[in-house]
Amino acid sequence: MKQWYEQLFENYAETYDNESFTQGTIGEVDFIEKEINFAKTKYILDIGCGTGRHAIELAKRGYKVTGVDLSESQLKRAREKAADVGVKVDFIQKDARNLDFVNEFNVVIMICEGAFPLMETDEMNFQILRSATKALKENGKFIFTTLNVLFPLYHSVKDFLNENFNETTTEKLTFDLMTFREKSSVTISDDSGNKKVLNCNERYYAPSEITWLLKSLGFRKIDIHGCKLGNFSRNDKLTTEDFEMLVIAEK
């Protein structure tokens, strides 16, 4: 049986591109460029690339990019979009838990819950971090966003999701304080207008957890900030108002 995230991204590519949370690409890529000092020689891996919005924008700016995703439907859309704007991106269908890249990339990005932290167990989520780490060259940089556990401790996640996701309705949401997992029933409309109900299971993380996980993988410098859609900044301190956290780690 397919997991909820596999079901979600079947026939959802165009709808995904129109969601409010995918509209910050330019500002997010501006931040990534600044973080890598605009060095066009950097080879970038985009994990959970979806329809390729970050990968394509980086390629338009002159970077060599490989994008990986589990969903062939999302990748088909990504390839079409890349062809439309005349850029070359190597889009590959792969499971982020089992990437076979070793010391190949200067930068790995994983933006907007690209694979992590959607997995059904903590061990699977850790596999994704380990795969990303293995893909990085020495002195490489890992930039990603993930769910911030400080948010659901102070806010209604259900209200937030219903207000910010155009084509979804969230119901029956529970948050487990022992596991930091949110389980919910979500109704979405796909690209054909068909409605489907998904039983979602997502893991929120504490900053201290992310720091410990990355240290265990050998990262020497780890910075965690607040995460604002389309406006990533090292000046933003992580607070209870941030639904996501922005993580920048260096090997």
Q: Could you report the per-residue pLDDT of 175-219, keeping only the tens digit for each?
A: 899 999 999 888 888 888 889 898 999 999 999 999 999 999 999
CA angle 219-222-224, nearest 5°? 150
pLDDT value at residue 125: 97
Q: Could you report the per-residue pLDDT of 14-73, keeping only the tens digit for each?
A: 777 777 677 889 999 999 999 999 999 999 999 999 999 999 999 999 999 999 999 999
pTM: 0.91
**Share in percent of the chain as helix, strand, coil (round to 5):** 35, 30, 35
pLDDT at 142 over 90: yes
CATH number of 4-148+204-250: 3.40.50.150
CA distances from 18 to 159, 194, 231 (A): 20, 16, 18
Domain ranges in the chain?
4-148+204-250
